[in-house]
Amino acid sequence: MSEWKGKTALVTGASYGIGEAFARRLAADGANVIVTARSSDRLEVLANELRSRHDVDARVIEADLANPSAPEKVFSLTEGAGVQIDLLVNNAGFGAVGDFADIPLDHQIEMIQVNVTALVALSHLFLQPMIRRREGAIIQVASTASFQGVPYSSIYSATKAFILNFAEGLWAECREHGVRVLALCPGPTATHFQAVAGTSHLRDPKKMQTPEEVVDVGLKALAQNRSVAISGFGNKLMIGAERMAPRNLVTRMAAKLYRPFSTRGNQAR
């Protein structure tokens, strides 16, 4: 029997991709789920399906995490209203590719707000009751991009590096409080992410992992109270090899790989 049966999970960014797969899997395992994102129409369809299919409670909270007040709103509608959250999946996020100097600053600041600031705020809010209960878990969705600077996706990879470091620190802090924290690091995964980041034309979905595979890796690693889980054997190998190589070599190789994402093409070189 799943450890999540009868518990309640809050999943951010559950309207698509990895977050939706988390909500589906947790509900199938018997967990009540609270799903949040901006696309409330999609979330309502998902919640209805999960309720009728799995006989669990499924609730929707519409929230735009680019809005600094959103984490407080999500908290006050859940824990603040007496609904105990046993598992928080901080999954909402997006990327953008191009030269840093060309991507509009507002868009990159919004990325930091959603990927980092909202994740930190939600972690702070929900961790406190978990520590008081000496029980609970947080999955922070990072990325294989957390492990190195990624040219032409510099802000995105920096947000993901933040999440990895933050999650590892929290994992160690929270051990003595009975709370588990995991940094889940997917590589390229077939979701809506590529379309949002503007990379669909350059990546073949058939060569990517599925969101269900990523979720499985995450939940297994959490059950073992690991601090970091890299999803996919090839991704693990790549990160392992990178760790042994000089950092600037890794960054130069990444620059070659990611150059097609440059908004300046070859004209500036």
Ligand X SMILES: NC(=O)c1ccc[n+]([C@@H]2O[C@H](COP(=O)([O-])OP(=O)(O)OC[C@H]3O[C@@H](n4cnc5c(N)ncnc54)[C@H](OP(=O)(O)O)[C@@H]3O)[C@@H](O)[C@H]2O)c1
Angle between helices 105-112 and 154-175 (to 10 degrees): 10
Shortest reach from residue 111's CB to ligand X, in Å: 9
Nearer to ligand X, 104 or 178 (CB): 104
Nearer to ligand X, 32 or 36 (CB): 36
Which residues on neighbouring strands pair with residue 183, listed in sequence order? 140, 228
16 in catalytic set:
no
Set 16, 152, 156, 258: catalytic member: 156
Which residues on neighbouring strands pair with residue 32, listed in sequence order? 8
Strand ranges (E), 165-252: 179-185, 228-230
Shortest reach from residue 199's CB to ligand X, in Å: 9
Per DSSP, 79 falls in state G
Query: Of all residues in this chain, which one has the CB nearest to ligand X in the complex?
Result: 17
Binding residues for ligand X (CB under 6 A): 13-19, 37-39, 63-66, 91-95, 114, 141, 143, 186, 188-189, 191-193, 196
Question: CA 263 to CA 152: how far, in whole Å?
Answer: 8
Nearer to ligand X, 18 or 26 (CB): 18
Query: Residue 99 class from Cβ within 10 Å (0-12 exposed, 13-18 middle, 19+ buried)?
Result: middle
Task: Please report how many Cα atoms fall inside a 13 Å half-sphere around the Cα of residue 79, on the Cβ side.
Answer: 22
Shortest reach from residue 138's CB to ligand X, in Å: 14
Helix (H) or strand (E) run with residue 89 in it: strand 87-90
Shortest reach from residue 126's CB to ligand X, in Å: 16
Nearer to ligand X, 59 or 177 (CB): 59
- The set of residues, in sequence order, having a beta carbon less than 8 Å from that of 104 and lying 6+ positions away, is none
The residues annotated with a catalytic role in the active site are 156
